[in-house]
Amino acid sequence: MNTIPQSFLRPAHHPGLAFIHSRWGQTPQNPVDGVIDLQSRRLMNTNNRLFVFSAYKEMAERVHQFNYIPADRPTAVVVTGSPGIGKSVWLEYMALRESEAGRPFLYFVGQRRFLVRADGVYNIKEAMDRDDLNFTSDPAFRHVLLLFDADIGPPPLDFPDYLPFIVQAGLVDTQSSPWYKQHITWTSFEMDPHPSEELAQALKLYVGVRKQHFTPKEIELAITRYAPDQRMIQKALEDSVFG
Protein backbone atom coordinates (compact mmCIF):
# COMPACT_ATOMS: atom_id res chain seq x y z
CA MET A 1 0.00 0.00 0.00
CA ASN A 2 3.03 2.26 0.01
CA THR A 3 2.77 2.77 -3.76
CA ILE A 4 0.27 5.62 -3.29
CA PRO A 5 2.20 8.92 -3.24
CA GLN A 6 2.17 10.40 0.26
CA SER A 7 0.93 13.66 -1.20
CA PHE A 8 -2.29 11.84 -2.13
CA LEU A 9 -2.94 10.62 1.43
CA ARG A 10 -4.25 12.41 4.50
CA PRO A 11 -5.71 11.01 7.72
CA ALA A 12 -9.50 10.92 7.51
CA HIS A 13 -12.24 11.41 10.07
CA HIS A 14 -15.09 9.05 9.24
CA PRO A 15 -16.93 7.67 12.31
CA GLY A 16 -18.26 4.60 10.53
CA LEU A 17 -14.91 3.64 9.03
CA ALA A 18 -13.18 4.45 12.33
CA PHE A 19 -15.30 1.81 14.06
CA ILE A 20 -14.69 -0.63 11.21
CA HIS A 21 -10.94 0.02 11.48
CA SER A 22 -11.11 -0.58 15.26
CA ARG A 23 -12.03 -4.17 14.41
CA TRP A 24 -8.87 -4.63 12.33
CA GLY A 25 -7.52 -8.18 12.55
CA GLN A 26 -9.92 -9.17 15.33
CA THR A 27 -11.95 -12.34 15.58
CA PRO A 28 -15.18 -11.81 13.62
CA GLN A 29 -18.14 -11.03 15.81
CA ASN A 30 -20.28 -14.01 16.70
CA PRO A 31 -23.84 -12.91 15.88
CA VAL A 32 -26.27 -13.11 18.77
CA ASP A 33 -29.72 -13.91 17.34
CA GLY A 34 -28.26 -12.89 13.98
CA VAL A 35 -27.19 -9.45 15.26
CA ILE A 36 -23.76 -7.77 15.30
CA ASP A 37 -22.47 -4.31 16.25
CA LEU A 38 -21.81 -1.90 13.38
CA GLN A 39 -21.62 1.83 13.98
CA SER A 40 -23.32 3.61 11.09
CA ARG A 41 -25.59 6.60 10.69
CA ARG A 42 -27.81 4.26 8.68
CA LEU A 43 -28.36 2.16 11.81
CA MET A 44 -29.43 4.95 14.15
CA ASN A 45 -32.89 3.37 14.42
CA THR A 46 -31.33 0.18 15.80
CA ASN A 47 -28.68 1.65 18.12
CA ASN A 48 -25.85 0.64 15.74
CA ARG A 49 -26.84 -3.00 15.60
CA LEU A 50 -27.19 -4.91 12.36
CA PHE A 51 -29.23 -7.99 11.66
CA VAL A 52 -27.10 -10.00 9.23
CA PHE A 53 -29.43 -11.33 6.58
CA SER A 54 -28.49 -14.65 5.00
CA ALA A 55 -28.25 -12.87 1.61
CA TYR A 56 -25.60 -10.54 3.10
CA LYS A 57 -23.38 -13.47 4.03
CA GLU A 58 -23.96 -15.39 0.80
CA MET A 59 -23.13 -12.40 -1.40
CA ALA A 60 -20.01 -11.61 0.64
CA GLU A 61 -18.76 -15.15 -0.01
CA ARG A 62 -19.41 -14.79 -3.73
CA VAL A 63 -17.42 -11.56 -3.77
CA HIS A 64 -14.39 -13.23 -2.23
CA GLN A 65 -14.57 -16.19 -4.58
CA PHE A 66 -14.71 -13.79 -7.52
CA ASN A 67 -11.89 -11.60 -6.20
CA TYR A 68 -9.44 -14.49 -6.33
CA ILE A 69 -10.18 -15.46 -9.92
CA PRO A 70 -7.01 -14.70 -11.92
CA ALA A 71 -7.36 -11.31 -13.61
CA ASP A 72 -5.20 -8.34 -14.50
CA ARG A 73 -7.40 -5.79 -12.70
CA PRO A 74 -8.51 -5.30 -9.09
CA THR A 75 -12.17 -5.79 -8.19
CA ALA A 76 -14.73 -3.03 -7.68
CA VAL A 77 -17.72 -4.20 -5.66
CA VAL A 78 -20.64 -2.05 -6.82
CA VAL A 79 -24.09 -2.17 -5.25
CA THR A 80 -27.22 -0.76 -6.88
CA GLY A 81 -30.96 -1.35 -6.76
CA SER A 82 -34.16 -0.56 -4.91
CA PRO A 83 -34.16 1.98 -2.06
CA GLY A 84 -34.55 1.06 1.59
CA ILE A 85 -33.40 -2.56 1.40
CA GLY A 86 -29.98 -2.19 3.01
CA LYS A 87 -27.60 -1.80 0.05
CA SER A 88 -25.28 0.68 1.74
CA VAL A 89 -25.42 -1.23 5.02
CA TRP A 90 -24.39 -4.40 3.18
CA LEU A 91 -21.42 -2.48 1.77
CA GLU A 92 -20.44 -1.46 5.31
CA TYR A 93 -20.83 -5.09 6.37
CA MET A 94 -18.40 -6.02 3.58
CA ALA A 95 -15.97 -3.37 4.85
CA LEU A 96 -16.24 -4.81 8.38
CA ARG A 97 -15.42 -8.28 7.09
CA GLU A 98 -12.37 -6.98 5.25
CA SER A 99 -11.14 -5.17 8.36
CA GLU A 100 -11.64 -8.14 10.67
CA ALA A 101 -9.69 -10.26 8.18
CA GLY A 102 -6.87 -7.69 8.18
CA ARG A 103 -7.26 -6.93 4.48
CA PRO A 104 -6.81 -3.33 3.22
CA PHE A 105 -9.70 -1.98 1.17
CA LEU A 106 -10.89 1.14 -0.64
CA TYR A 107 -14.26 2.74 0.12
CA PHE A 108 -15.75 5.32 -2.24
CA VAL A 109 -18.65 7.48 -1.05
CA GLY A 110 -19.71 11.08 -1.63
CA GLN A 111 -16.96 11.54 -4.24
CA ARG A 112 -14.37 10.71 -1.57
CA ARG A 113 -12.12 7.66 -1.70
CA PHE A 114 -10.97 6.20 1.59
CA LEU A 115 -8.19 3.72 2.15
CA VAL A 116 -8.49 1.56 5.27
CA ARG A 117 -5.35 -0.32 6.20
CA ALA A 118 -3.57 -1.53 9.33
CA ASP A 119 -2.23 1.89 10.37
CA GLY A 120 -5.45 3.88 9.97
CA VAL A 121 -8.11 5.42 7.74
CA TYR A 122 -6.98 7.75 4.96
CA ASN A 123 -8.64 9.95 2.40
CA ILE A 124 -7.08 9.61 -1.05
CA LYS A 125 -7.01 12.87 -2.94
CA GLU A 126 -8.79 12.46 -6.26
CA ALA A 127 -6.48 13.24 -9.18
CA MET A 128 -7.46 15.52 -12.02
CA ASP A 129 -6.02 13.05 -14.48
CA ARG A 130 -6.98 9.38 -14.48
CA ASP A 131 -3.39 8.48 -15.33
CA ASP A 132 -2.32 9.85 -11.94
CA LEU A 133 -4.31 7.08 -10.27
CA ASN A 134 -2.11 4.35 -11.68
CA PHE A 135 -1.81 2.49 -8.38
CA THR A 136 -4.59 0.17 -9.63
CA SER A 137 -2.01 -1.46 -11.89
CA ASP A 138 0.24 -2.25 -8.92
CA PRO A 139 0.25 -6.00 -8.05
CA ALA A 140 -0.06 -5.01 -4.39
CA PHE A 141 -3.61 -3.88 -5.13
CA ARG A 142 -4.65 -6.99 -7.01
CA HIS A 143 -6.89 -8.27 -4.20
CA VAL A 144 -7.75 -4.93 -2.62
CA LEU A 145 -11.49 -4.38 -3.00
CA LEU A 146 -13.00 -1.05 -4.00
CA LEU A 147 -16.45 -0.75 -2.35
CA PHE A 148 -18.87 1.62 -4.05
CA ASP A 149 -22.61 2.44 -3.87
CA ALA A 150 -23.66 3.41 -7.40
CA ASP A 151 -26.95 4.93 -6.24
CA ILE A 152 -25.25 7.64 -4.16
CA GLY A 153 -23.27 9.24 -6.97
CA PRO A 154 -21.09 8.70 -10.05
CA PRO A 155 -18.22 6.20 -9.93
CA PRO A 156 -14.61 7.19 -9.29
CA LEU A 157 -12.53 8.54 -12.14
CA ASP A 158 -10.56 5.33 -12.57
CA PHE A 159 -13.56 2.97 -12.40
CA PRO A 160 -12.80 1.61 -15.91
CA ASP A 161 -9.51 0.26 -14.52
CA TYR A 162 -11.41 -2.13 -12.23
CA LEU A 163 -13.17 -5.40 -12.89
CA PRO A 164 -16.73 -4.72 -11.66
CA PHE A 165 -18.64 -7.11 -9.45
CA ILE A 166 -22.11 -5.56 -9.63
CA VAL A 167 -24.57 -6.50 -6.90
CA GLN A 168 -28.16 -5.89 -7.97
CA ALA A 169 -30.40 -5.63 -4.88
CA GLY A 170 -34.00 -5.49 -6.02
CA LEU A 171 -34.91 -3.43 -9.08
CA VAL A 172 -32.36 -1.12 -10.72
CA ASP A 173 -33.53 2.34 -11.73
CA THR A 174 -31.67 2.76 -15.01
CA GLN A 175 -32.66 6.44 -15.08
CA SER A 176 -30.71 7.21 -11.90
CA SER A 177 -28.01 4.66 -12.73
CA PRO A 178 -27.49 5.03 -16.52
CA TRP A 179 -24.00 3.61 -16.24
CA TYR A 180 -25.55 0.29 -15.13
CA LYS A 181 -26.59 -0.46 -18.71
CA GLN A 182 -23.02 0.13 -19.84
CA HIS A 183 -21.39 -2.10 -17.25
CA ILE A 184 -23.84 -4.97 -16.80
CA THR A 185 -21.89 -8.11 -17.66
CA TRP A 186 -21.55 -11.66 -16.46
CA THR A 187 -20.07 -10.11 -13.33
CA SER A 188 -23.54 -8.83 -12.30
CA PHE A 189 -25.30 -10.78 -9.58
CA GLU A 190 -28.69 -10.49 -7.94
CA MET A 191 -28.90 -10.36 -4.17
CA ASP A 192 -31.70 -12.63 -3.03
CA PRO A 193 -34.72 -10.90 -1.42
CA HIS A 194 -34.84 -11.11 2.37
CA PRO A 195 -37.28 -13.81 3.55
CA SER A 196 -40.26 -12.56 5.55
CA GLU A 197 -39.12 -14.38 8.69
CA GLU A 198 -35.72 -12.63 8.54
CA LEU A 199 -37.38 -9.24 8.00
CA ALA A 200 -39.51 -9.90 11.09
CA GLN A 201 -36.36 -10.71 13.10
CA ALA A 202 -34.65 -7.55 11.86
CA LEU A 203 -37.69 -5.49 12.85
CA LYS A 204 -37.23 -6.57 16.46
CA LEU A 205 -34.19 -4.28 16.63
CA TYR A 206 -36.20 -1.31 15.39
CA VAL A 207 -39.16 -2.08 17.63
CA GLY A 208 -36.91 -2.44 20.68
CA VAL A 209 -35.30 0.97 20.16
CA ARG A 210 -38.59 2.72 19.46
CA LYS A 211 -40.10 1.06 22.56
CA GLN A 212 -43.33 0.53 20.68
CA HIS A 213 -45.56 -2.51 20.62
CA PHE A 214 -46.72 -3.84 17.30
CA THR A 215 -49.01 -6.80 16.96
CA PRO A 216 -47.87 -9.78 14.89
CA LYS A 217 -50.66 -8.91 12.46
CA GLU A 218 -49.38 -5.34 11.98
CA ILE A 219 -45.85 -6.60 11.35
CA GLU A 220 -47.04 -9.28 8.93
CA LEU A 221 -49.19 -6.78 7.02
CA ALA A 222 -46.36 -4.20 6.75
CA ILE A 223 -43.94 -6.83 5.45
CA THR A 224 -46.49 -8.20 2.97
CA ARG A 225 -47.22 -4.76 1.55
CA TYR A 226 -43.76 -3.17 1.50
CA ALA A 227 -41.05 -5.86 1.54
CA PRO A 228 -38.19 -5.67 0.81
CA ASP A 229 -38.15 -1.89 1.50
CA GLN A 230 -37.27 -1.80 5.21
CA ARG A 231 -37.75 1.97 5.47
CA MET A 232 -41.28 1.68 4.13
CA ILE A 233 -42.01 -1.22 6.49
CA GLN A 234 -40.91 0.90 9.45
CA LYS A 235 -42.96 3.86 8.23
CA ALA A 236 -46.02 1.67 7.81
CA LEU A 237 -45.65 0.44 11.38
CA GLU A 238 -45.34 4.01 12.66
CA ASP A 239 -48.43 5.02 10.71
CA SER A 240 -50.32 2.12 12.26
CA VAL A 241 -49.60 3.65 15.67
CA PHE A 242 -49.69 7.37 14.95
CA GLY A 243 -51.82 7.53 11.80
Sign of CA dihedral 65, 67, 70, 76: positive
* Residues sharing a CB contact under 8 Å with residue 120, sequence separation 6 or more, in sequence order: 11, 21
Most confident of 48-62, 182-196, 204-218, 224-238: 48-62
pTM as predicted: 0.85
pLDDT tens-place string over residues 168-196:
887 666 555 556 666 666 567 888 778 88
Q: Residue 130 pLDDT more than 60?
A: no
pLDDT tens-place string over residues 2-44:
466 677 788 998 999 999 999 999 999 989 889 999 999 888 8
Within the chain, residue ranges assigned H as helices are 15-22, 54-67, 87-100, 179-183, 196-210, 216-226, 230-242
